[in-house]
Amino acid sequence: MNAQFHLALPCKNLEETKVFYRDTIMAGLGRNTEKWLDVDLFGNQLTFTQAGDFTFDFKNYKLDNYILPSFHFGVIVPVDIWGELYTRLFQMDLEVTTEATFMQGKKGEHLSFFVQDPNGYMLEFKSFKDSEEVFSE
């Protein structure tokens, strides 16, 4: 089954969040009010709700030789889109982190990078060498 996901997250500043996803990530915008915003992230729905200040305790984990944020979300895209996003975001002088190939030479090999949004969320973009291995064991 192929289904879209919906993720709702608190938001510090709705206008900054809107600008980041629309102008930086180039995601589509959906329904919104002064209290919440829907973002079309490659066909998946993110809803940001105005919540004021909140905190995250970013615990990390190790994958291969990289330290990664435990709390993150993202999207899997074809390699050409991944490359376009990486190049554009890197050229915007954003803090693009952990650009790497994970599980190299193994089942599930994929390219990955992270960028932080205005709320402190770590957003990951992945591209699998073999799309059939996204959920393989």
Determine the pLDDT at residue 22: 96
Determine the pLDDT at residue 18: 95
Determine the pLDDT at residue 132: 86
- Listed as ranges, residues in the chain with pLDDT below 50 are none
Domains 6-50 and 60-133 alike in fold:
yes
Determine the pLDDT at residue 6: 81
Maximum C-alpha span of the chain: 48
Determine the pLDDT at residue 56: 64
Q: Among 131, 101, 104, 117, which residue's Cα sits nearest to residue 9?
A: 117
Domain coordinates in residue numbering, the chain = 6-50, 60-133
Q: Superfamily assignment of 6-50 in CATH?
A: 2,3-Dihydroxybiphenyl 1,2-Dioxygenase, domain 1 (3.10.180.10)
Q: Superfamily assignment of 60-133 in CATH?
A: 2,3-Dihydroxybiphenyl 1,2-Dioxygenase, domain 1 (3.10.180.10)
